[in-house]
Amino acid sequence: MSPPPFAGAAGAPPRARVLPRFLTRLLAVVAVVLGTALAGPLPAARASMTLTQVSDFGSNPGALTMYVYRPASLPAHPPVVVALHGCTQNAQVYADNSGLPQLADRDGFLLVLAQTSSANNASQCFNWFQTTDNRRGQGEALSIRQMVSQAVTAYGADPQRVYVTGLSAGGAMTAVMLATYPDVFSAGAVVAGLPYDCTKDNSPYTCMNPGVDLSPDAWAQRVRDAYPSYTGPWPRTAVWYGDQDTTVVPRNATELRDQWTALHGLSQTPSRTATIGPDATRQDQYLAADGTVAVEVDRVPGIGHGTPVDPGTGTQQCGSTGAPYFAASICSSYWIARFFGLDTSDPGGGGTGGGGSGAACWTASNYAQVQAGRATTSGGYTYAKGSQQNMGLYNTFVTHTLKESPTGYYTIADNGCP
């Protein structure tokens, strides 16, 4: 079998790389396991979301395509959520079925969708397993980072509130982005993905099933090695898995937990456990010293490989099962937005954004203001970023309105905003 073409997407520079024959054969196996190649085109989604293609967002060494979903009503300096589709999917399919655009409308964030192609990978998987694409400053990882820069420049997005999520190969690529660009992403949610750099000394197939068991410290070191000079805080990380997944087995959820709890200096024993959603998803949370959720693991019962969705119009419902790899169970996107601190429908969520006269205003609990990056916490109290005004106790019960003006400077505006 001759190596598949690895030319860039239309209009992008070709990618100069030739794969050894053994790796080409391995990738064919990976494509089947990760992508389960379909006999025909994907079924049409029930509703097609309007996406805008952005053709010029940098050098784009990974030859990816950038799409944006911009809500009709978007606050000044909105957060950014980057979404990475799974194998055999594309940006449109992920937008139409994940529920993320509806949450962007409600919660006021800019949605950026990266898309790979069959020219990059035969099954349209992000190349999370290749060093040419999973290292800082090169390949697909750099292309996705450039999309974030474009979102900040062109849409006035807040560079302090950038998040990433994705499914399967997109989930594994989410872990890549958190590891290689911890200075860019505040948090991420890996859906049916894998620990960063598992393929350093294992095949992709082995990493997916049966999985690889390393110590938490060994996993954490692989992330540190991705950006050795980095000394800042590590991104908060959520992990989502179906407990019947045989493609990327649930063992990877445990290994991801080990990797990111170790980075945060936390025990692998959860600080608290709860059941959420209509299907009693088990949610384990690992709390940092200041009470924030640094790592979260959500294990969804009774589903296999895919993004958990819960079609409907309820507050905690979202998504569609109109395409493969979207499993009817729980609206994971809702809970992911909540983990990011973006959910405006809940007192513990991201607050409401609005504004006028050049100012953006946000009403939310102190907990949510900190999660969204508009405030900090010290000694059990909350302080507005910039003004350092004392907002009271750091919890989900005390609520304030913050006004942002200028960018990154927040003041308490409980009596009216702007």
Catalytic residues: 168
- Return the closest-CA partner of residue 131 out of 123, 144, 142: 142
| Token pair 């409308």: residue | 105
Cα-flanking dihedrals φ and ψ of residue 394, to 5°? -85, 95
Q: Please, which residues have CB within 8 angstroms of residue 369's CB and are 6 or more apart in sequence?
A: 351, 362, 375, 382, 384, 391, 400, 402
Q: Which one, of 350, 397, 321, 326, lies nearest residue 106 by Cα? A: 350
Of residues 393, 416, 58, 104, the one with CA closest to residue 402: 416
CA dist., res. 286 & res. 366, Å (int)? 19
For 121-264, where are the alpha helices, taking DSSP H only?
A: 139-155, 169-180, 204-208, 216-226, 251-263
Contacts for 213-220: CB closer than 8 Å, 24+ residues apart: 213/251, 213/255, 214/255, 214/258, 215/258, 216/258, 216/259, 216/261, 216/262, 216/268, 217/262, 219/195, 219/255, 219/258, 219/259, 219/262, 220/259, 220/260, 220/262, 220/263
Whether 125 and 30 have beta carbons less than 8 Å apart is answered as yes
Of 166, 181, 174, 165, give the one whose Cα is nearest residue 195: 174
Identify any residues that bridge with 377 across adjacent strands, giving them in sequence order. Answer: 382
The answer to whether residues 114 and 143 touch, using CB atoms and an 8 Å cutoff, is yes
Alpha-carbon separation of residue 105 from 15, 253, 285, 305 (angstroms): 36, 30, 28, 27
Strand order in the sheet with 375-378: 375-378, 381-384, 390-393
> What secondary structure letter does DSSP report for 198?
G
Q: How far apart are CA 170 and CA 275, in angstroms?
A: 26
Q: Which two tokens stand for residue 39?
A: 């006999």
Instruction: Say which residues have a Cβ less than 8 Å from residue 211's Cβ, sequence separation at least 6.
Output: 249, 251, 252, 255
Is the CB of residue 147 less than 8 Å from the CB of residue 57? yes
